[in-house]
Amino acid sequence: MEKMIYLDHAATTRTLPEVTEVMEPYQDIYYGNPSTIYEFGEKSREAIEWAREMIAGTIRARPEEIFFTSGGTESDNWALKEAVHLHESMHPGSRGKILTTPVEHHAILNSCEELKQMGCGVFFLNVDETGRVFLAAAEEAVLENEDACLISVMYANNEIGTIQPIDELGKMAKRRKILFHTDAVQAYGHLPINVQRDNIDMLSASAHKFGGPKGVGFLYIRKEINLPAFVHGGAQESNRRAGTENVPGIVGMGKAAELAYKRMGMESRRIRHLRDYLAYRILREIPDVKMTGNRKYRLSNNASFCFRGITGEAAAILLDTQGICVSSGSACSTGSLEDSHVLAAIGIESEWAQGALRITLGAENTKEEMDYVVEKVKMVVADMRGMR
């Protein structure tokens, strides 16, 4: 392929060269097991603690509140399942209830479904046509569900980019003495996050969404919460997540976090300008298209559309032949014949939802690329509609 324009940064990002550089020594030089007592292993342990401090600082947490995992999915599973177990241990005979939204990632929704099969209650908070939680309705739901033990609402949506009112939800959870978890996989590294200000008790993140390596992430757990261990077998991660640590991955995630938060302001403005230019041209030059998600409260790199009269997955394949990488929705749902659960939840009819395309920009994208993409999207949509 002569030309490749990557516009699926919500699915994954390129591992930054600076990240690869800091990881390399821990793969073939300082490869000692961090749990050993000799100096060689100490090098690995020091590197892990450096990354822990770096990540903690980016969200205004304490280092001892950061626990390394294999990624966002594991972190979400840990937060939900062990929050329920914690509730059961403190309230014998009560299975508790989770309050969440219908637009969450499947790591949350499928965990909720499993917990439901085990007797835990699950209540879905209403969202508006842009995917944002109705705060008044959420407050009502909290009052009506006295056995609620956890509120879990994603920081920003992976399909339509909508940012939730996390600060207000955190205040509400604190007032009602309910644990508050947020899946920040799409937000961390792209938005400023302050767990103290927003009363966040638990937060999930994944390194490969912000320039780090795949297969590593973290779960922030507020120190005052005695969340049970999720993986048993060893004393790693303060006896809460057993298993020999992925030292290169953790170091890489620490470096990626450092770079992301250092560059965030300027890079976010640049990408938002490109995103707005792309969206303006598509909405102006292509008929029967609508932009989904919230226009104001939105990730700066996300442009998600629904084109009537086409199939999004087929359009993504055709764009791939033109050297353009986009998706028809969440990477975890690729290949599914069903409409997106996110689009269904915000009231998008099937004839529109079938034509969903998600375009997510990153650091390497340019205005020239946006012009090329618009022309190719116009061509593909017209071809699929039989108008050319």
Active-site annotation holds for 332: yes
Residue 43 burial class via C-beta count within 10 angstroms: exposed 0-12, middle 13-18, buried 19 and up? middle
CA-CA distance, 7 to 368, in Å (whole number)?
13
Residues 117 and 110: beta-carbon distance below 8 Å:
no
Spot the catalytic one: 112, 149, 325, 332.
332
SS (HEC) of the chain? CCCCEECECCCCCCCCHHHHHHHCHHHHCCCCCCCCCCHHHHHHHHHHHHHHHHHHHHCCCCHHHEEEECCHHHHHHHHHHHHHHHHHHHCCCCCCEEEECCCCCHHHHHHHHHHHHCCCEEEECCECCCCCECHHHHHHHHHHCCCEEEEECCCECCCCCEECCHHHHHHHHHHCCCEEEEECCCCECCECCCCCCCCCCEEEEEHHHCCCCCCCEEEEECCCCCCCCCECCCCHHHHCECCCCCHHHHHHHHHHHHHHHHHHHHHHHHHHHHHHHHHHHHHHHCCCEEECCCCCCECCCEEEEEECCCCHHHHHHHHHHCCEECECCCHHHCCCCCCCHHHHHCCCCHHHHCCEEEEECCCCCCHHHHHHHHHHHHHHHHHHCCCC
Structure tokens belonging to residue 239: 């006896």
The residues that are catalytic are 332
